[in-house]
Amino acid sequence: GPTCSVIALKCPHIKVTIVDLNQARIDAWNSSDYNLPIYEPGLERVVRETRGRNLFFSTDVDGAIQEADLIFVSVNTPTKKSGVGAGYAADLNYVEKATRRIAQTATTSKIVVEKSTVPCRTAESMRTILEANSKPNTHFSILSNPEFLAEGTAVDDLLNPDRVLIGSLQTPLGKQACEALCEVYANWVPRERILTVGLWSSELSKLAANAMLAQRISSINALSAICEATGANIDEVAHAIGKDSRIGPKFLRASVGFGGSCFQKDILNLVYLSESLHLPEVAAYWRQVVEMNEYQKRRFTRRVVDTLFKTITGKRIAILGFAFKADTGDTRESAAITLVKHFMDERALITIYDPQVEHEQIWMDLIEVAPTYSLHQIKKQVSIAPSALEACIDAEAVIIATEWKEFALLDWQSVYEHMLKPAFVFDGRLLLDQAKLTRIGFKVSTIGRGAEIPEGIMV
C-alpha cells in the first residue's frame, strides 16, 4: 500500500493498480471517508491526492497482471507453524501462489519484482515456476527490491530513502530489467541512492539489515539489566556510547522488547538459513538476539510481580499501549501481547488502552497467544478501556507498553487520584518523567534504571 501509493504520487505518468483478493481490504482502500485498512502517518494524504488519478485499488488480479509491465509481489511471508523448519523458516506459500498466478495469466513479457522479505535465493524458485508455466514468446525477468521502512515513518522513509536496493541477475536482460525499475525510482530518488547489486545479495541484505537492527536493541536491553542491578542509568549509558561515531545513537533505546512483523521473523529466517548451510555457530549467534528479547519481556514481568509484593493475583493492572510501537496500529509480535499473557497466568485483572489498535485485533491476538483460554475466560480477566485515564481507574499499577506521546502528556495527577495506593508505574519505554511522577506520589520503576544510592553511603 504505502510503497505503491508513493510511486503513484511521484510518478503521475505511471498507472499504479494495487490488487488484493480480500474484498473488504479493497473496499477500505476505496472508502469515501478514507478509512484505510492500515494506519500510517501521511498515508491518507498521499491516497487522497492520487486515488482515481493514477492510483487504483481492485480485486481484478488477472486484469491487473495482463495490463502491467512491472509486477510487485508483496505478499505475506509468515514464519512456518508446522512441517520442516517450523518456528524458523519463512512460509513461502503465498509467494508461490502469486508467482503461479502471474505465469498462468500473463500473455506478454513482464518484470516481476520481489518486494516481500524472503529467504536468500527465493527468486530462483520464482523463476523456475515462471519459466515452467509461461506461455509462448513470454519472458519474465526477476528483480529483488526489498523495503527498508519503519512503521510509523514509512511514508517519510519512502519519500526520502537512505537507499533503494535493486537486485538482478547479472545478465543483459537482468540488467535491462534493473534499469527499468531504476527509472521509476529516479523520478524522485537521487541516482546515487539507488544501489544495484546481484539478486542474492539483495535478498540477503534485507535479512541482514533487520538482524543488525534487532541485535542493537537486544544489546542495549541486555545492558539495561546490568544498569538496574548496579544503579546505572541506561539513558546515560546509551547517550555516552552513541556519541562514538563508529556506533551512533540510533536503535540504542532500551525497552520492554522489540516487536513488529519483520525483526523476529527475519532473524529466525536467518537462523534457519544458517542451519541449512551447516553453520551452527552462526545460527546460535543470531538465535541469541531473539532469546534476549524474550528474556527482557520475562524480566520486566517478574519485576512487576516482585514490586507488587510478590503477587498480582486479583490486582488490577492498566496496560497503556498494545501496538508494537507508536504511530502504528500493528500488533504483530508486540511486547504487550506477551505481557498480558504473563499477567493472565498470574491471575491479574488487566485493562488495556491503545489509541489505534482495533478491539477485535486485541481479542484475536490474545486468543492466539493463550490457546488454552477461551475468549469468555480471557474477557473475565481482560477488558479494553476507551481512554488511558479510564484504564487506570482503580488500578494498582500502570504499565507503559507502547511509547505513544499521549501517555507522556496524560494528567498524571488525575491518574494518581483514581488509582489504589500505593500507586505503581512501570515505564517500559523510557517515556515518562520519573521525577515528576515521584513528586505526585507514584512509585516509579523505569526500565534500565536501578535504585539510586543515597548520598553518603559507601559501596
Distance CA 139, CA 173 (A): 10
Tell me the H-state helices in 51-121: 61-67, 93-105
Locate the DSSP E strands across 227-333: 316-320
- Residue position matching grid coordinates 534457519: 272
Joined grid coordinates for residue 183: 527509472
The C-alpha cell at 134 is 509461461
- Mapped onto helix, strand or coil, the DSSP state of residue 425 is strand
Active site residue 147: yes
Helix 122-133 vs helix 199-230: crossing angle, to nearest 10? 150
178 is an active site residue: no
3-state SS assignment for residue 211: helix
Q: Which of 296, 144, 167 lies closest to 219 in space, CA to CA?
A: 296
Per annotation, catalytic residue among 80, 110, 206, 265: 206
Selected catalytic residue, list 114, 147, 151, 203: 147
Q: Can you list the alpha helix ranges (DSSP code H) found in 81-168? A: 93-105, 122-133, 154-159
Q: Residue 192 gets which letter from DSSP?
A: G
Q: How many beta carbons lie within 10 A of that of residue 452, not counting itself?
A: 8
Q: Of 262, 265, 333, 341, which one is the catalytic site residue?
A: 262
169 in helix, strand or coil?
Answer: coil
262 is catalytic: yes
What's the gap between Cα 159 and its chain centre?
A: 19
Query: What is the DSSP annotation of 20-45?
Result: -S-HHHHHHHT-TT---SS--TTHHH
Catalytic residues: 147, 206, 262
